[in-house]
Structure 1
Amino acid sequence: VAKRVCEEVAAGVKEDNGSAALSEKDELGGTVGYAIRFEDQTSEHTRIKYMTDGVLLRESLRDPDLNNYAAIVMDEAHERSLNTDVLFGVLRKIVSSRRSDLKLIVTSATLSADTFSSFFGGVPVFRIPGRTFPVETYFAKGVQEDYVMAAVKQAIQIHFNSPPGDILIFMTGQEDIEGTCQVLAQKIEQLSGKDGEEESGASQTPPLLVLPMYSQLPADLQAKIFEAAPKGVRKCIVSTNVAETSLTVDGIKYVIDSGFYKVKVYNPKIGMDALLVTPVSRANANQRSGRAGRTGPGYCFRLYTDRQYREELMEASVPEIQRTNLANVVLLLKSLGVKNLLE
């Protein structure tokens, strides 16, 4: 995500400066750069740097006061990842006691702003109205036994019976995503074959471009979801919850929410972390439905009932710091010189 955003901003810098005056500062890694795990695309000219929370946390080991930065923006704070929560504690100490000149901005679409404001000592809160379009939400009539097949059926129904617009399907992980893509492609192929066998007068099956999206996918295949589909072709993206907040894909009009995602949970009996398929929270569900209203009015199809949404889903997800092994975090904080971990 950091790399993707950085590329877009760098392209904007190039466009603003014009092709006649391009220099190495205008290239990716010049004025605008990024740092992710195993990859650092920055230089002495870099003024805007995009990075993951883990990279910034490791930088605080080398430079406890983060003197290289005049301002830090923490985006998607509501996700409450382990690294983000630890960074909040580290940054609060830096801002309050060692660097009063450092500007810290915490942003989120669904954050409990007052809670975070009090955590940082009653700092001001700015509420910026969003520009989202209305989204019609539909619930399943009954409990779905197989959410993969339910998502495939819903996607085919949308494809054949609804106006143009791309589809975004939320699945749990790589296995479910690849299975959904495979079954969906097979169903479309079967329907195309039936159309071909029918005599004249039958309409051809409209083409559907099915694209997977998950973290282990090669970067060139991930980039395909951002490319516009050929004219007359509907795009269907099957993704993990990375498309819930981190990525925005233009043209999405229909969202299919399986109602599940994978979370890392520590199992003390075996002393290991495990990925468990878990129902989403209501906050996650609302974020997913909002994906359909980014560029125009949209529709969200939830593969669970209204009763399940109201009575069974949690209000918000359990923060990662409350459900994972904290051994590495404790060692990291000790290496940062934190004596009392509870302060």
Structure 2
Amino acid sequence: MTSSTPTTVTAVAPGRVNLIGEHTDYNHGLCLPYAIPLACTATLTVRDDRGLTIASDKGEPWSGSLDDVEARVVTGWPSYVAGVIWALGQDGWQVPGLDISISSTIPLGGGLSSSAALECAVAVGLAGLLGQDLDRASRLHLAEACRRAETEYVGAPTGGMDQLASLLGAADHAVFIDFADAAPVTDLVRVAFSAADLTIVVTDTGVRHSLADGDGGYAQRREQCEAAAAALGVASLRDAGIDDLGALSDPVLLARARHVVSENARVVETVAALEEDRWADAGTLLTASHTSLRDDFAVSCPELDVSVAAAVDAGALGARMTGGGFGGCTIALVRRDEAPQVTAAIDAAYTARGWSTPRQHELAPSAGADLIPGDSAPE
């Protein structure tokens, strides 16, 4: 630390909605997420020792030291914070002892990437404390460090989409990401929902999941995709075409591969539909994505399926689950003046089944992670 660097910074990082392109990132494929107004805020204050404290409005506080981080013994929700410190330390950053305070408006485990937002808020805060730039190249570096934190430190085998969406998001834009190479290729795609009098209704089913719980869900799907690619003789399912899949004799591997290959095609078609204001076509693609995730990838659940069906029946242009699955949220592309009837239909469908009323939001594409200006910001 030098006299020109701050001793306290506050950073905010958004969660994300994935419009389309689910379970494609770790298959070197395509996806189209956007940052949302719900976000995680992290305030980092430098200590004069190697101590580390992490407090949150969502979990029990943790205290220890940077030695615990380096020894990789931090567990539970604080491991996401420790993982970022560890990953950036591996990259040569001289991270000091810290007191870190976390708050978040993102539902935990709801498929809106609360974990990546936590990681990115801490990473941006560290960049501010250490005088690092927050240009595009630096954001890409931070996204990769956060991905490693979640994959290597926490143990959740995610693909990197969430962190890129949180760090690269922009108002009224989605982030097109191509994971074909080791360094993802990204571009902003204008998503003119408001100008077209449309909105995205996000329904939180209340069913919670964990990508690092080791129950054979997310990790199993990733292993099955790798097995399918190996059986096809390709490096990843990104290199397979729909006509190649007949070579798969295992019905489970065939179904998993069919989802990934068809989902990549749907991402390309959705980008074209958005750029040409073909909203009905975009909606049809969203619903087709859900059908594929439900039937071929088997990551849906009754609450997600009912939410999607109720939204479409009530007039939504299309709907799908978003996130890793096994619970979480759905999204519906809706004409703005029809949003109340769509949300009411979903509520009624849940009530009819004796389920708790879901929480619903209208979430527009929003800005990506950044430092909060003020006394805590670097000069």
TM-score above 0.5, yes or no: no
TM-score, normalising length from structure 2? 0.22
By relative contact order (CA 8 Å, sep 6+), the higher-ranking structure is 2
TM-score calculated relative to the size of structure 1? 0.24
Which of the two has higher C-alpha Rg? 1
